[in-house]
Copies of this chain bind each other. A is one copy, B any other.
């Protein structure tokens, strides 16, 4: 049995609370959050505290709050020489200060509050400063996921940037596609299987092998006619920027 204290009440914290609660070898003994209202349906009220100076003893403290607040909150906790891990993709393990033993517990996924998540296939990137702490993190991670990796702070940062491209930016391109459909009174449903197949293709092909479309074919006529069709300056700018990037860099393996 590993006892866990969670600090935070945002997207990731909520999904972790829900997930940890399912497993008998993990026990959430406390959740600490400034905004306890968000947690009401996830955990018993008596386990919730809003005071960072009032934490109970646990095997692992997971700080899952916005990047900006991690340094300050980590220094405020009333614990010393305990295992404290954060869940941020972009911040180094050093942000946690020197009061405690430090670790990283970074689930690489896009979390929306309204959509349940199956953790089994979510990669969890771990980092710790000694073997015993790494074992504790590994046991927790392997309880919820089949995909656990030892990743340094530097590598994690590169993963996070890569994730911004393949997830945040990709979703914004979905939004532009959505807007174009809407403006032309075409149901977005028609485009959905293409979104799925495009994602599915790179499960087995490399993105370079999978690239299709007017840019990689250097089909200037089609590119020109698309740019003439688009009236939104922002959409035109993105079209031009990515088309040039595909033409200049799309073929490099």
Which residues in A have some Cβ–Cβ distance to B below 8 Å?
Answer: 11, 66-68, 90, 108-112, 114-115, 117, 121-123, 125, 147, 149, 151, 154-155, 157-178, 180-181, 183-187, 189-217, 219, 221-222, 225-226, 229-230, 234, 237-239, 241-242, 245-246, 248-250
Contacts and interface: CB of A to CB of B under 8 A. Distances in A.
B147 A162 contact: no
- Counting every copy of the chain, the complex holds 2
Given A158-B186, A173-B170, A174-B207, A122 B216 contact: no
Given A158-B184, A191-B159, A229-B161, A110 B198 contact: yes
A100 B83 CA distance: 76
B172 A211 contact: yes
A226 B112 contact: no
B121 A193 contact: yes
The binding surface of chain A is classed by DSSP as helix
Contact of A226 (B164, B174, B192): B164
B109 A208 contact: no
A115 B222 contact: no
Nearest to A246: B172
B221 A248 contact: no
Contacts of A248: 234
B110 A212 contact: yes
Contacts of A187: 149
A208 to B, nearest CB: 6
Contacts of A200: 196
A26 B76 CA distance: 73
A19 B222 CA distance: 27
A162 B191 CA distance: 8
A199 B195 contact: yes
Contact of A159 (B117, B158, B170, B190): B190
28 contacts: A66-B219, A67-B219, A90-B222, A90-B226, A114-B205, A115-B204, A123-B191, A123-B193, A155-B184, A157-B225, A158-B180, A158-B183, A161-B230, A162-B177, A166-B174, A166-B191, A168-B212, A169-B173, A170-B170, A170-B199, A171-B207, A172-B211, A174-B207, A175-B250, A178-B207, A192-B202, A195-B203, A199-B199
